Amino acid sequence: MTCVVAVPVREGFIVAADRLTTGNDGSKLDEGPKLFPVARGVVTASGKTGIGTNPAGNNLFDAHAVMREQLSGKLPESVDWTTVRHALGTPLKRALDDMTADARPPVSTATASLLQVLTYYVDDAGALNLSAVFVKLRQVEPVLLDLDHKRAGPQNFELSRPLVAASVEVWNEIGNGVDPRFDDLRLLDVYQRFVSPARAEDTSADAGEAFARRLIRDTSERKHLIGGARDVGPTCDVVLVGRNGSVLRLGGDDDEQRRERNKRKRERRNR
pLDDT along the chain (271 residues), means of 10: 94 95 59 90 91 64 93 93 95 92 88 92 95 95 94 96 95 96 97 95 97 97 88 93 95 55 53 54
37, 233 Cβ separation under 8 angstroms: no
Residue 252's pLDDT is what?
Answer: 61
Residue 257's pLDDT is what?
Answer: 55
Q: What values do phi and psi take at 11, rounded to 5?
A: -85, -10
Number of residues written out for the chain? 271
Residue 103's pLDDT is what?
Answer: 87
Q: Name beta bridge partners: 4.
A: 17, 165
Residue 259's pLDDT is what?
Answer: 47
The amino acid occupying position 93 is: K
Contacts of 110 (CB under 8 A, 6+ apart): none
pTM of the full predicted structure? 0.87
* DSSP SS3 for 105: coil
Residue 230's pLDDT is what?
Answer: 81
* DSSP SS3 for 93: helix
| CA-CA-CA-CA dihedral for 247, 244, 208, 49, to nearest 10 | -40
Residue 229's pLDDT is what?
Answer: 79
Total count of domains within the chain: 1
Residue 109's pLDDT is what?
Answer: 87
Q: What is the CATH number of the domain that holds 41?
A: 3.60.20.10
> Can you give the residue range of the structural domain that contains 251?
3-269
Whole-angstrom Cα distance, residue 25 to residue 110?
Answer: 28
